[in-house]
Amino acid sequence: MTSTLAAAPWRVFTVEVRALRRLGPSFLRVTFAGPDLDRFADNGYDQRIKLALPAVEGASAELPAGPDWYQRWRDLPAGRRSPIRTYTVRAVRPEASEVDVDMALHGDGGPATRWARRARLGDRLAMVGPDAGWPGVHGGVEFAAPVGATLLLAGDETAAPAICAILERLPADACGHAVVEVPEPGDELPCRAPAGVTVTWLPRAGAPHGSRLTPAVTGLADRLLPVPAAPAAAVPPAEVDVDREILWEVPQHPDGAALYAWLAGEAAVIRGLRRHLVADRGVDRRAVAFMGYWRAGRAES
């Protein structure tokens, strides 16, 4: 008997909501089920997926199938084009054909939060995720720490699910720090971390974005890293205009780095943290993964 391999590393899964669990004031865990989610590849770490949301409230969300789904989606009339948002996989249970996604709830202005606040069991969505039948690398995983490096994971509520998923895949002897800024007390997500990794949750409680994360991360960096012998000689990172460009740089092979930083969240805050690590503290830029998941002041379309 011959097996038919997937034609592409990603495929469109038709899913429905099997369970909803409120994890805190600002987080909702959605368990999706689907007839073919047993073929969803469990890659762990910060595996990205895309969710298509209903174009019209109360309707099912759909995406074209096949390797060319994205172009076919773009070609749809605006009224039939389901909004797409990117999330991190929180857990995969192929044997139960289930995938968990933790959603951060932001106000009520964008389609993702509007849907999440009104989600009901049985709601049908479309999920673009890695196909276990693909024989090569799927992509969508940015975390790539070198063996033995001290870890520094930092982000806001949009990065919290990814940080938790990373922590739970780390080897038992991993060491370092994870710092997560969240909106409210009680937003600490349940996750397991190696004994050598300290996890700190920082509720803003109404303070501006980054007001807790920035001093916590810079303080940690100052303790973990020696002062560069000649900071002025270091090559400063190129500045990114976060209002016009995507803030996203993910080195894949930072071999030999003593410290590996993974930073994600509001683009301007993450840009400032990266600048401090690379320009002020002398961290090799090849050992700093940084991702602007969203931008303050820019409405979700």
What was the pLDDT predicted at 273? 95
Across 107-111, 163-167, 267-271, least confident range: 107-111
Assess if residue 137 is contained within a domain. Answer: no
Query: Is the per-residue pLDDT at 1 higher than 60?
Result: no
* Interatomic CA distance for residues 183 and 203, integer angstroms: 5
Query: Residue 263 sits in a domain of what CATH number?
Result: 3.40.50.80
- pLDDT score for 296: 75
Give the separation between CA 10 and CA 142, rounded to whole angstroms: 16
Note whether 76 and 202 are same-domain residues.
no
Question: pLDDT tens digit string along 112-122?
Answer: 888 999 999 99
| Residues 65 and 22 grouped into a single domain | yes
Residue range 28-56: mean pLDDT, rounded: 94
34-38, 48-52, 104-108, 259-263: segment of lowest average pLDDT: 104-108
Say if residue 154 is in the same domain as residue 285: yes
Residue 182 lies in a domain: yes
Residue numbers of the domain that contains 217: 150-230+241-294
How many CA atoms within 13 Å lie on the side-chain side of 129?
Answer: 32
Residue 140 belongs to some domain of the structure: no
Q: 65 lies in a domain?
A: yes
Same-domain status, 165 and 202: yes
- Does the residue 210 lie in any domain? yes
Rounded Cα distance, 109 and 127, in Å = 22
| Same domain? 38 vs 77 | yes
In the block, tokens 């996890």 appear at: 199
- 84 and 30 inside one domain: yes
Residues 281 and 214 in one domain: yes
Answer yes or no: is pLDDT of 79 > 80: no
Q: Give the residue-averaged pLDDT of 177-186.
A: 97
Token look-up 């870890």 returns 151
Structural domains of the chain, count: 2
Q: Which of 178, 179, 184 is nearest to 207 (CA)?
A: 184
What one-character-per-residue DSSP string does the chain give?
--PPPPSSSEEEEEEEEEEEEEEETTEEEEEEE-TTGGGB----TT-EEEEEPPSSTTSPP----STTHHHHHHTS-GGG---EEEEEEEEEEGGGTEEEEEEE--TT-SHHHHHHHH--TT-EEEEEEEBTT-SS--------PPTTPEEEEEE-TTTHHHHHHHHHHS-TT-EEEEEEEESSTT-PPP----TEEEEEEEE-TTSPTTTTHHHHHHHHHHHHSPPPS-GGGS-PPPP--TTTS--EE--S--TT-SEEEEEEEEHHHHHHHHHIIIIIT---GGGEEEEEEE-TT----
For the stretch 131-163, pLDDT in tens is 999 999 999 999 999 989 999 999 999 999 999
Residues 156 and 44 in one domain: no
pLDDT tens-digit readout, 240-297: 543 444 566 877 666 778 899 999 999 999 999 999 999 899 888 889 999 999 887 6
Structure tokens at 228: 């560069």
DSSP string across 127-179: EEEEBTT-SS--------PPTTPEEEEEE-TTTHHHHHHHHHHS-TT-EEEEE
81: in domain: yes
Q: Answer yes or no: are the C-beta atoms of 260 and 283 closer than 8 Å.
A: no
Residues 157 and 124 in one domain: no
Please tell me whether residues 154 and 289 are part of one structural domain.
yes
Last residue of a domain, one of 65, 100, 130: 130
Q: Are residues 159 and 60 in the same domain?
A: no
Using the 3D structure, point to which of 130, 159, 183 is the last residue of a domain: 130
Sign (positive/negative) of CA torsion 6, 8, 10, 15? negative
Domain boundary among 101, 130, 159: 130
170 and 288 belong to one structural domain: yes
Rounded mean pLDDT, 189-209: 96
CA distances from 161 to 38, 113, 155, 165, 181 (A): 22, 16, 10, 6, 12
Q: Is the pLDDT of residue 64 over 90?
A: no
Question: Is the predicted pLDDT of residue 48 greater than 70, yes or no?
Answer: yes
Answer whether 0.85 is exceeded by the pTM.
yes
Query: Within its chain, how far is the Cα of 35 from the centroid?
Result: 25
Query: Looking at residue 295, what is its pLDDT?
Result: 85
* CA gap 100, 35 in Å, rounded: 15
